[in-house]
Amino acid sequence: MDSITLKNPLDMHLHLREGELLKAVLPYTTKPFSLALVMPNLKKPLIHTSLVESYEKEILSLSKEENFTPLMSLYISSELSKEDLDSAQKKGIKILKLYPKGATTNSSLGVGDVLDSKLLELLGYAETKGFILSIHGESSGFSMDREYEFASVFKELAKSFPNLKIIIEHMSDKRSIKLLEEYKNIYATLTPHHISMTLDDVIGGMLNPHHFCKPVLKTKADKDALLELALSANAKVSFGSDSAPHTIESKLKGAAGIFNAPIILPFLTSLFAKHNKLENLQSFISDNAVRIYNLSFAKDKFVTLEKKDYQVPDFITSSLGDIKVLFGGDTLEYRIKAIS
């Protein structure tokens, strides 16, 4: 196929940051995407509804001419209360994000013990209110096994709250796929990097800090199994870029995160075309998430990609410093032709 038109592309896991970084990265998502689920792990995490609301305003004021919805999320901290859940629901916030304490960027206010009785009571309440629970599912064990070790928590939560939709964010380990098959209320998001790269892309040659993210990239068998889930547009998975901008200076100091927002649609189209699976891209990039997260759109957005070389920029600029783009310098087979 020489061109493909995608309806309402959705990014169900996105870090936009605040201030100058937000300004620099935002258009790469607001132009081609209809909606993105915006992560709450700012330097000052969004642990109360009022904080989520002012962040939403900041995003909307910068993106007002675009047909784009930021789907906001509330960061689960020890301060979470039923009253907070009530006010979040009133304001239309329907995603709760759970970070284990210390698991990743800005997670120091995250959850120490996920199965603690107070949190379980709140999650039971969230279940009755129809919230969706997005989880960064990693233990504090050996890096390559962290997601696998967290499976027992996913199982416990899925059994305790059968009507709570639970999302395994940025699934990275093929051993997690079983959870999607065994529990009807467990879903996942998949990133461009976990379906296309392995640990060798980080440490196999010269150390490449720009490919360092959490959860860490894993084995070829993991990558291949996750790619298969994406290419088949498995009904339990949505696309979530986990685009996580850091300045090059921060990356060289060890920050975890890969900035991929500028390449997402050309990259996925090239990847699905290479595997003769373009017919599944619409489900993977939009339809599955519309169903799982129960989304609707006042006005549809259409993005046409054409089979013409796209030279990926090495970096984008911000007043805080440059941000390296995933696959910068490479040539992709497809590029965006039109957005309407």
Among 226, 242, 243, 271, binds Zn ion (CB under 5 A): 242
Query: 41 contacts which partner out of ligand DOR, Zn ion, none, CB within 5 to 8 A by kind?
Result: ligand DOR
Query: 104 contacts which partner out of ligand DOR, Zn ion, none, CB within 5 to 8 A by kind?
Result: ligand DOR
Contacts to Zn ion from residues 131-150, by CB under 5 A = none
* Strand residues in the chain grouped as ranges (E): 3-7, 10-14, 35-38, 69-71, 73-75, 95-98, 132-135, 165-168, 186-190, 237-239, 302-306, 310-311, 315-316, 323-324, 331-332, 335-339
User: Active site includes 2?
Assistant: no
**Phi then psi dihedrals of residue 185, to 5 deg:** -100, 10
Per-residue binder mask for Zn ion (CB under 5 A), 186-225, x = binder: ----------------------------------------
Asked whether the CA dihedral 105, 110, 115, 121 is positive or negative, the reply is negative
Residues contacting residue 31 through CB under 8 Å, at least 6 positions apart:
66, 68, 339
Q: Taking CB positions, which residue lies at the least distance from Zn ion?
A: 242
Residue 155 in tokens = 């199982």
**Would you say 109 or 256 has its CB closer to ligand DOR?**
256
Asked whether the CA dihedral 205, 208, 330, 274 is positive or negative, the reply is positive
**Would you say 94 or 214 has its CB closer to ligand DOR?**
214
- DSSP lists the bridge partners of residue 4 as 305
**Would you say 95 or 213 has its CB closer to ligand DOR?**
213
Residue 21 in tokens = 């970084």
**Would you say 207 or 338 has its CB closer to ligand DOR?**
207
**Would you say 104 or 234 has its CB closer to ligand DOR?**
104
Per CB under 6 A, residues contacting ligand DOR are: 15, 41, 104-105, 136, 213-214, 244, 256-257
Query: 213 contacts which partner out of ligand DOR, Zn ion, none, CB within 5 to 8 A by kind?
Result: ligand DOR
**Phi then psi dihedrals of residue 206, to 5 deg:** -65, 145
Are 104 and 216 a contacting pair, CB within 8 Å?
A: no
Least separation in angstroms between CB 62 and ligand DOR: 19
Residues contacting residue 2 through CB under 8 Å, at least 6 positions apart:
306, 307
Q: Does 84 interact with Zn ion (rule: CB under 5 A)?
A: no
Binding span for Zn ion by CB under 5 A among 48-56, 77-85, 203-211, 241-249: 241-249
Least separation in angstroms between CB 331 and Zn ion: 27
Q: Which DSSP letter does residue 283 get? A: I
Binding span for Zn ion by CB under 5 A among 51-59, 119-127, 223-231, 237-245: 237-245
Given the residues 11, 84, 222, 242, the one annotated as active site: 242
Q: Parallel, antiparallel, or unpaired: how do β-strands 95-98 and 73-75 relate?
A: parallel
**Residues within the interface to Zn ion (CB under 5 A):** 242
Residues with catalytic roles: 242
